[in-house]
Chains A and B, each alone.
Chain A
Amino acid sequence: MKKIIKYSLLDILRNRVILAYTALLAVVSISLFMMEDNPVKAVMSLLNISLLIVPLVSSIFCTIYLYNSAEFIELLVAQPIRRSRLLWGVYLGMITALLIALSLGIGLPLLLLQPTLSGLSLFLTSAALTIVFSSLATLSAVLTRDKAKGIGVSLLLWFYFTFIYDGIVLLVLFQMADYPLETTMIGMSMLNPIDLGRIGMLLQLDISAMMGLTGALFQDFFGNGFGAGLVILVMLGWMTFPILFAIRRFNNKDL
């Protein structure tokens, strides 16, 4: 498995797309810190951008990479290697490459320009989202044979978690305006890793004070040990379940 990880990692690191991604992130984060005189505001803006770009690039890149290396995977399947090991290897190679890009693009500027707890948690949030969306992309690539369809599915997933889900939340909120929905909202935020990351970051940045009752409730819930543990658990769930499911499917898949 180590060899597969190494091979796909080196393959991806030579890829121009990943270089461009690193450069984009670096330019965005450095220029944000240069433009904003208030570093907290810069972290906020960087959060907005990374919540959009990181999941998008992770999911699209992983899907395309998996389809492009389909022949390589087929070749290796013919070798005496277990299928699960094979997919794990490629998957781990992909996320390692993406995390390296993220560390260089966001982590390094943050470390140099904003070495605070909020900077660290911004980086960790982006890293978690990278892993989550790579898993989801792997799943969609394994589930569909057709390349266009697979990319479509992972794009749709990204679109769903970024826009549609929040639209649904808004709809629910206004349909059920007469009911106390604050605790429900905490539950609903768990169902979307992007929301979870965003809310976690906002609470870190002390913006929660202006979020009124809801903010107070979120702070109360996510602030204590149980809430924080649950968030980490849910995030880990979002990272592992899609990839475990994908590997199960891949094991029985007729290539």
Chain B
Amino acid sequence: MIRQLLFVIGTQLATLLPVQAAEHLVKPGESIQAAINKASKGDLIKVMPGTYREKGIIINKQLVLRGIDYPVLDGEKKYEVLTITADHVVVEGFEIIRSGYSSMDELAAVRIKQASYVGIRNNRLRENFFGIYCQHASYSLIANNDIKSTGGSELDAGNGIHAWKSDHLVIDGNFINGHRDGIYFEFVTESTITNNKSHRNIRYGLHFMFSHQDIYTNNTFSENGAGVAVMYSRQVTMIRNHFLDNWGSAAYGILLKDISDSYAAYNEFSRNTAAIYMEGSSRLTIFANRFLQNGYGIRIQASCDNNVIRKNNFIANSFDIATNGSLVLNSFNENYWDKYEGFDLNRDGIGDVPYRPLSLFALIVERNNSAMMLFRSPMVGLLEKAEKIMPGITPEKLKDDQPSMKPFPL
């Protein structure tokens, strides 16, 4: 799909470039907006290095706006810097800084407003309120941008890449740091998010709401305030992402709330407070992921059903599974659990006794949080041993009947 989209955008660009396209040069001291107004459809505008303070540039026709050696577009903390309202626009090679802050309007460094086939590539964005804002955008590419900000709190920072009511977006290879949410999707469908790094954002690395049929692969989300949240969406595919070091009392590797028919595979979850927190989710396949050194591996609330958790590695987590009820509607099968103590007589690599991943203490804590005072108490260890030998309190059905003896090579 990415290829298709790139191809579409590529062919669009190809139609721009041929003979009739004129080239305009903008030097410091001149106005970019004036050049845009003068240009005709399909022209190329080259902007020479320098600082441009233009109180808001509007691109309302098919153009390529190219910065040479990163000319600076400064919003002076008052204006939205670039607004794109036409189809087939490319913006590349700029350093866009200091977009305006407003609590009424969501002012951005670059806004795509009701446009299609737009490319925003290879830009540097610094100290903006919102970074790249897609509003009713479709078939657009946002690639290789370096987006940084030093927002203090959730209120005075905007999102790095914000997409609202858009479709068919490709967001690839961006680096986002210090914004409220790294990437924010609301009502965005059939889009792909690939190869991005979202690091140390104030709230979520990636925030997904009501966004169906999206794919995200090969992204790294690390040290974000609350990890990644995927909510109220269907048919989301998450493959080969890394969720790292999202550590805090309200942080999750990934929060799955009301997600259905989705697929998470080959992801790595390391050192998160809770690698996956699932609530009201159904028909998810969680396959071949690595859960390493998390507080909780999967916190699966009793409101989840028909989820399949297969062939994952659970290694060095404090608790592998936690749940808040006794009803078990999900299946755990063929996973590797490092805490498994069973044996394998016929040497087929599958343990002969089932493994019960839910520890008694995790259950106690879900019911009564104050019991956390006894975390790692020898008394609790004793109780857990007793429960392992003769399960009485933990749900009978929550078990892995075919635990793998060896970790999967993931």
Contacts and interface: CB of A to CB of B under 8 A. Distances in A.
Interface of A: 38, 41, 44, 47-48, 51-52, 162-163, 166-167, 169-170, 173-174, 177, 181-182, 185, 188-189, 195, 198-199, 202, 206-216, 218
Contact of B316 (A41, A169, A170, A206): A41
A209 B295 contact: yes
Q: Which 4 A-B residue pairings sit nearest by Cβ, starting from the closest? A: A210-B295, A166-B379, A214-B372, A211-B372
Nearest to A180: B370
Interface string B367-382: 1111111111111111
A212 B318 CA distance: 14
A89 B5 CA distance: 84
Interface stretch (B26-34, B169-177, B196-204, B246-254): B246-254
Nearest to B371: A173
A41 B373 CA distance: 19
A162 B381 CA distance: 11
Given A38-B293, A209-B273, A210-B273, A169 B373 contact: yes
Contacts, number: 83
A188 B373 contact: yes
Interface in B353-404: 364-365, 367-382
For chain B, the bracket of interface size reads 20 to 34
Contacts of A198: 376-377
19 contacts: A47-B376, A162-B378, A166-B380, A169-B373, A169-B374, A170-B379, A173-B370, A195-B374, A195-B377, A207-B295, A208-B249, A209-B251, A210-B249, A210-B274, A210-B295, A212-B249, A212-B372, A214-B371, A218-B373
B378 A52 contact: yes
Given A38-B293, A215-B249, A202 B376 contact: yes
Interface string B231-266: 000000000000000011101000000000000000
Nearest to B296: A210
A50 to B, nearest CB: 12
Nearest to A38: B293
Contacts of B372: 211-212, 214-215
A44 B273 contact: no
A199 B373 contact: yes
Contact of A166 (B247, B293, B296, B377): B377
Contacts of B373: 169, 185, 188-189, 195, 199, 214, 218
